[in-house]
């Protein structure tokens, strides 16, 4: 079952069980997925659907930060409640320790294949680390991976 179909099925279940907050979030997710599908003019793959949901989670986190600065705790609570619902449709997120160990492993592999990567090689290291996470069925926040790669390459 595709991710889009699962969202639709869960939306119907939320309607039947009268879960208003969950239903609202699922409708938002379905709308975002449908908009992306319309922009693409073709059905979304699961990877593209996951990317849409990752973007939604990032937007919620940015909103929480802005609402906190604006002292709007009612909106912070609403956005914070939506994040776990959206994340339940995404692959497991990698922990900071997983990110660190994978960055170190990729740098070690690249060093064994030739010379140790320098800060100029950050793009190729990032790409290798992200592909390693994808192969493992995990997702890693690009910002966290970038910070870890910068720190590891700066030590050289």
Tell me the per-residue pLDDT of 98-107, one tens digit each, with 9 for 90 and over: 888 988 888 8
Q: By three-state DSSP, how is residue 141 classified?
A: coil
pLDDT score recorded for residue 38: 95
pLDDT score recorded for residue 139: 83
Return d(Cα 86, Cα 54) in angstroms, integer: 8
Lookup: tokens for 154: 């700066």
Q: Are residues 16 and 81 in the same domain?
A: yes
pLDDT score recorded for residue 25: 96
Quote the crossing angle between the two packed helices 122-135 and 142-154, to the nearest 10°: 130
Return d(Cα 91, Cα 104) in angstroms, integer: 23
pLDDT score recorded for residue 156: 59
Q: Are residues 12 and 83 in the same domain?
A: yes
Q: Are residues 7 and 78 in the same domain?
A: yes
Q: Are residues 107 and 64 in the same domain?
A: no
Q: Are residues 150 and 78 in the same domain?
A: no
Quote the crossing angle between the two packed helices 96-113 and 122-135, to the nearest 10°: 120
pLDDT score recorded for residue 10: 96
Burial of 30 (0-12, 13-18, 19+ CB in 10 A): middle
Q: Are residues 101 and 135 in the same domain?
A: yes
Residue 39 is part of which domain span? 3-87
Q: From 87, 117, 140, give the residue that closes a domain.
A: 87
Domain tally, the chain: 2
CATH number at residue 128: 1.10.10
Q: Are residues 119 and 63 in the same domain?
A: no
pTM, two decimal places? 0.74
> Which stretches of the chain score pLDDT less than 50?
none
């Amino acid at each position: 079952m595709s991710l889009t179909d699962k969202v639709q099925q869960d939306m119907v279940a939320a309607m039947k069980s009268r879960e208003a907050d969950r239903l609202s979030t699922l409708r938002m997710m379905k709308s975002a997925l449908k908009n992306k599908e319309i922009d693409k003019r073709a059905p979304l793959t699961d990877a593209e659907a996951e990317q849409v949901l990752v973007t939604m989670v990032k937007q919620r986190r940015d909103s929480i930060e802005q609402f906190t600065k604006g002292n709007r705790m009612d909106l912070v609570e609403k956005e914070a409640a939506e994040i776990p619902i959206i994340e339940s449709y995404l692959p497991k997120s990698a922990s900071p320790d997983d990110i660190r160990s994978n960055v170190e492993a990729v740098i070690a592999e690249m060093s064994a294949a030739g010379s140790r990567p320098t800060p100029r090689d950050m793009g190729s290291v990032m790409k290798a680390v992200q592909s390693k996470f994808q192969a493992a069925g995990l997702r890693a926040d690009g910002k966290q991976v970038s910070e870890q790669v910068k720190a590891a390459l700066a030590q050289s």
